[in-house]
Amino acid sequence: MFALMLAAVLSFPATVLGQAKPTAKTATAAQARAFIEKAEKRLKELSIQYAQADWVSQNFITDDTAALSADANKNLIAATTEFATQATRFDGLKLPADVARKLLLLKLSLTLPAPKNDAERSELANLVVSMQGDYGKGKYCPDGDQNKRLDLGALSRILAESRDPKQLLDAWRGWHAIAPPMRQRYTRFVELANKGARELGFADSGAMWRAKYDMPPDAFAREVDRLWLQVKPLYDALHAHVRAKLREKYGADVVPENGPIPAHLLGNMWAQQWGNIYPLVSPPEQEKTFDLTEILKARKTDEKEMVRIGERFFTSLGFAPLPQTFWERSLFAKPRDRDVVCHASAWSIDFKEDLRLKMCIEITEEDFQTIHHELGHNFYQRAYNKQPVLFQDSANDGFHEAVGDSVALSITPEYLKQIGLIEKVPGVEGDLGYLMKIALDKVAFLPEVRPAEYNKAWWELRKKYQGVAPPVARSEAEFDPGAKYHVAANVPYTRYFLAHILQFQMFRAMCREAGYTGPLHRCTIYNNKAAGAKLNKMLEMGLSRPWPEALEALTGEKQIDARAMLDYFAPLKAWLDEQNKGRKVGW
């Protein structure tokens, strides 16, 4: 995740804000430029104020910090709405390309559209900060015992490590119990956001989100379907194998032979990354030859040093080190004495150099990966910081989520040996295990479930795409989507689906640039300045051009394509198909 204050984004045929009639006769291009420059200046000030307030509210969850953050958010939303409405007076006017694009971005920029009515706008801003705060404070007390309070970190550790289905179920239920109290607020929140979107000329706020991809929303939806069909056979093969192994482990009365997998057995609270159950499903004889979590712990690597290692990867590509203030102002470890929003995020407070990470780091391989993910956001933010404010964002939101992961694909055994974390690179016989571990995190993630749905619809979608089922009967008294951060915090989620495909495409391009020709999964671009320079070309463009052009700057390709991902996993797919002979695939 990354925190974007000036909720940004993009281009499709104008007139989305149909209410005002073009007054091209009276307005001029020079006025349009002056207008947008004034708007950018004001929105920048308000975005910085909101970023500061929200940083404090997420780092110190209290009623007062929530009120300050909601107020700053409200001011930003109000000003953006006002400017977007005024901007319609330039509709139909022939404008220089940059001005036209900025006007469009301005109109599409709100992730949280709000009604013009001031009371409703305040109510909405308060709802968002309060749900996010409740998510951050969420705890489960087994047996109602306050002394045994477990937060999401502790519950996630149980999901990752325990192999006792009773204990897993208890932790799963315990966390999901934080959400029902949000249900009513969420309903009201959706109502108000949709009202805000309608006032801006969209069908609802989902339609507004889908309008941000430089193409008509329907065409974009077709792109997503096309990509999903490209990767579905790989997902299905992994799913079938994992289900069979879990059935061996937990027995026929816990795991069905042909149906969806119960969601508490996959090593992750949302069953979205399965790497933690690697030992249960690994190819025989392929138990990893090393365990990065153990190595990091044995070396007494601390939170900051984990981040330093990540930073050094980026500097090895030619990027400048992070500023001193990053080290002074970031949150790296969970404070003992207060509640914070632990969900990892990367921030640029001032559109310049004030970059920060906020993360409750644990010394694990998973967090080692997530740190590279977050730093990808920070290096992107700094790479585009010379762009005008409205262009200070990624080419589309999937790009922001993909960059750090595409770099992290270079965390190969070869690289770990180069930086002295392991002594010996396993031979090719280790490849299947390595690919399996990565597939459990990246392929398992693909069936992106649109989170903004209610309980029954939520589980129907999860069954349809993901092939997982609730471990116990659920009713409309529950609110399971709210137990997922991005729902409680209003973060559009399609970006992660796109990112999981894009990162392999970007990685392949960087490996090509580095002159690498071997199997893709063995490539590392560590220390390669040519690959870094090429990456930077795309990053520094920010949102100034439609995303296909940014993709082309790095990859030479204008379409998002899952081929790189499929090539990367090809040896694993062949092995999975072999294993799955005689098993039912699908659910």
Distance CA(470)–CA(555), nearest Å, equals 40
Short-list 433, 434, 436, 469, CA closest to 242:
436
Does 347 engage in binding with ligand SER (CB under 6 A)? no
Sheet of strand 355-358: strand arrangement: 2-3, 345-348, 355-358
Cα-Cα-Cα-Cα dihedral of 48, 51, 55, 57, to 10°?
110
Compose the 48-87 pattern: x for residues touching ligand ASP by CB under 6 A, - for all others. Answer: ----------------------------------------
> Is 374 among the catalytic positions?
yes
Concatenated DSSP letters of 88-99 = GGGTT----HHH
Selecting among 176, 486, 500, 521, the annotated active-site residue is: 486
Whichever of 1 and 292 has its CB closer to Zn ion, that residue is 1
The DSSP H or E segment spanning 310 is helix 303-316
Residue 268 Cβ vs ligand ASP, minimum distance, rounded to whole Å: 10
Vertex 63 angle, CA 60 and 66, to 5°:
70
Whichever of 484 and 545 has its CB closer to ligand SER, that residue is 484
Residues 463-492 that bind ligand SER (CB under 6 A): 486
Residue 464 Cβ vs Zn ion, minimum distance, rounded to whole Å: 25
Compose the 126-165 pattern: x for residues touching ligand SER by CB under 6 A, - for all others. Answer: ----------------------------------------
Whichever of 399 and 496 has its CB closer to ligand SER, that residue is 496
Whichever of 201 and 376 has its CB closer to ligand ASP, that residue is 376
Q: What is the largest CA-CA distance in the chain?
A: 76
Distance CA(132)–CA(191), nearest Å, equals 18
Sole window of 81-89, 328-336, 369-377, 466-474 interacting with ligand ASP (rule: CB under 6 A): 369-377
Those residues whose C-beta lies under 8 Å from the C-beta of residue 32, and which sit 6 or more positions away, are 90, 93, 95, 99, 103
First CA to last CA across the chain, in angstroms?
31
Does 343 engage in binding with ligand ASP (CB under 6 A)? yes
Whichever of 123 and 448 has its CB closer to ligand ASP, that residue is 448
Whichever of 499 and 553 has its CB closer to Zn ion, that residue is 499
CA dist 246 → 164, 251, 260 (Å)? 12, 8, 12
Whichever of 108 and 271 has its CB closer to ligand SER, that residue is 271
Question: What DSSP designation does 463 have?
Answer: I
Q: Dihedral of CA 31/37/42/46: which sign?
A: positive
Residue 345 Cβ vs ligand SER, minimum distance, rounded to whole Å: 9
Burial class (CB in 10 A: 0-12, 13-18, 19+), 511: buried
Residues 1-60 that bind Zn ion (CB under 5 A): 1
Compose the 400-419 pattern: x for residues touching Zn ion by CB under 5 A, - for all others. Answer: -x------------------
Secondary structure (3-state) at 289: coil
Vertex 414 angle, CA 411 and 417, to 5°:
95
Residue 379 Cβ vs Zn ion, minimum distance, rounded to whole Å: 13
Does 370 engage in binding with ligand ASP (CB under 6 A)? yes
Looking at this protein, which amino acid is placed at residue 547? W
Structural contact between residues 439 and 483, judged by C-beta atoms closer than 8 angstroms? no
Sole window of 21-29, 53-61, 348-356, 370-378 interacting with ligand ASP (rule: CB under 6 A): 370-378
Short-list 442, 501, 548, 487, CA closest to 219:
548
Whichever of 265 and 408 has its CB closer to ligand SER, that residue is 408
Does 200 engage in binding with Zn ion (CB under 5 A)? no
- Please identify the residue of the shown chain whose CB is closest to the bound ligand ASP: 1
Residue 499 Cβ vs Zn ion, minimum distance, rounded to whole Å: 8
Question: What DSSP designation does 466 have?
Answer: I
**Among residues 391, 459, 496, 526, the one that binds ligand SER under rule CB under 6 A:** 496
**Among residues 44, 247, 373, 573, the one that binds ligand ASP under rule CB under 6 A:** 373
Distance CA(82)–CA(87), nearest Å, equals 9
Query: Which does residue 68 bind out of ligand ASP, ligand SER, Zn ion, none, counting CB within 5 to 8 angstroms by kind?
Result: none
Residue 3 Cβ vs Zn ion, minimum distance, rounded to whole Å: 10
Residue 9 Cβ vs ligand ASP, minimum distance, rounded to whole Å: 17
Vertex 458 angle, CA 456 and 459, to 5°:
70
Which pairing describes strands 468-469 and 355-358: parallel, antiparallel, or unpaired?
A: unpaired
Residue 373 Cβ vs ligand ASP, minimum distance, rounded to whole Å: 5
Does 344 engage in binding with ligand ASP (CB under 6 A)? yes
Query: Which does residue 9 bind out of ligand SER, ligand ASP, Zn ion, none, counting CB within 5 to 8 angstroms by kind?
Result: none
Does 89 engage in binding with ligand ASP (CB under 6 A)? no
Whichever of 74 and 343 has its CB closer to ligand ASP, that residue is 343
Structural contact between residues 58 and 341, judged by C-beta atoms closer than 8 angstroms? yes
Selecting among 40, 366, 374, 478, the annotated active-site residue is: 374
Does 372 engage in binding with ligand ASP (CB under 6 A)? no
Supply 144's token pair. 């109602």
Three-state SS annotation for 307-372: HHHHHHHHHHCCCCCCCHHHHHHCECCCCCCCCCCCCCEEEECCCCCCEEEECCCCCCHHHHHHHH
Whichever of 80 and 394 has its CB closer to ligand ASP, that residue is 394
Short-list 485, 492, 493, 490, CA closest to 466:
493
Secondary structure (3-state) at 345: strand
Binding residues vs ligand ASP (CB under 6 A) = 1, 343-344, 370, 373-374, 401
Contact residues for ligand SER (CB under 6 A)?
1, 486, 496
Residues that bind Zn ion (CB under 5 A): 1, 401
Q: Just list the catalytic residues.
A: 374, 486
